[in-house]
Amino acid sequence: MSTNNANGLRIGVDVGGTKIEAVLVSPDGRVLGQARIAARRGNQAVLEDIESVARQAAGERFAEVAAIGIGTPGQVNADTGHVGDIVNLDVVSMDMGPEIAQRTGVDTHVENDVNAAAVGAAALLGGAEGLTGTIALLNFGTGLAAGIVQDGVLLHGYSGAAGEIGHVPVEPHRFKCPCGQYGCLETVASGASVARLWPHADPPMPDLIRRAIRREAEAVDTLDMVMRAIGDAIQILAQSVDPRLIILGGGMAKTGEPLLEVINAELHRREAQCHFLESLNLPARLRLAPVEQPVGAIGAALAA
């Protein structure tokens, strides 16, 4: 979280493939205004829509805004504000941060959408300790990635690849990943991969869990594959950065408590075989991201 704009209002914008959402956030983190519009494709339309929804969220208080934060999919350079390859919006290359700053006259900071959501989820679920310590968001969306927040500051790493655990190639089925590797965790432990592995329902995860509970053989085998990969992802995250909270987000996490129950069952299975894992007490650290709040937009504002 930036401290440069801690005493002013901030706008957070969450750019999605079908909608763009914005919030106006007070210096103490309260949401004062909110707006949402349908997303359009192409550089010019995306820039126009970001500016429009930001102004709608702020309303008459736009002149009081000290910073705008944007969370967006694609390849993001948080230092320069450049974004590449927002596939769902037909954006190949865009200087999003500088363009929005020029249009609005307000300092603008751009983050990867998972990182922005991590800040928002950490702020909402951090409890009495707030943003102190390390908090991670494990995002099960089209891909699999983590956002890591340490004492309110996002960890990017040297090249911006911190948290990209979805491309750790340890999944034993060795499915081909779009990144070019074989066996990436996200080829099994992501929303898109579960839809491929279980094409019998939309959304797939709730149906997969229900059928596995009924002991349908195909569902049991598929859920076991997915849970082992999710367990690996949680262990990699826990044993590398040791967060006090691991927040489960993304489309798959909207399954809610049933998902948490099957993940906890997998973690307890591992604990029964390993005292070291039992000592980490990973199930106690898991939380579901709040689905009723604009987590990505809030996080983008707080990260600005």
- Write the pLDDT tens digit of every residue in 269-301: 999 999 999 999 999 999 999 988 999 999 999
Structure tokens that stand for 47 in this block = 């820039």
Fold of 9-117+293-303: Nucleotidyltransferase; domain 5 (3.30.420)
Q: Where are the domains of the chain?
A: 9-117+293-303, 134-243+251-288
Rg of the chain over Cα atoms, rounded to whole angstroms, equals: 19
- The letter for the amino acid at 160 is G
Alpha helices (H) in 188-293, listed in sequence order: 191-197, 204-213, 217-241, 257-271, 275-280
Provide, rounded to the nearest whole percent, the portion of the chain with pLDDT above 70: 98
Band of residue 188 on the pLDDT scale cut at 50, 70, 90: very high
CA distances, 23 to each of 79, 84, 116 (Å): 23, 24, 13
Q: pLDDT value at position 6?
A: 58
Fold equal for 9-117+293-303 and 134-243+251-288: yes
- CATH for 134-243+251-288 is 3.30.420.40
Band of residue 131 on the pLDDT scale cut at 50, 70, 90: confident
- Write the pLDDT tens digit of every residue in 146-171: 999 999 999 999 988 999 999 999 99
* Per-residue b or e along 19-52, where b marks 16 or more CB atoms closer than 10 Å to that residue's CB: ebbbbbbeeebebebbbbeebeeebeebbebbbe
Assess contact for 50 and 56: CB atoms under 8 A.
no
Three-state secondary structure of 84-98: EEEHHHCEEEECHHH
Going by C-beta distance under 8 Å and a sequence separation of 6 or more, which residues neighbour residue 214? Answer: none
SS3 assignment, position 210:
helix
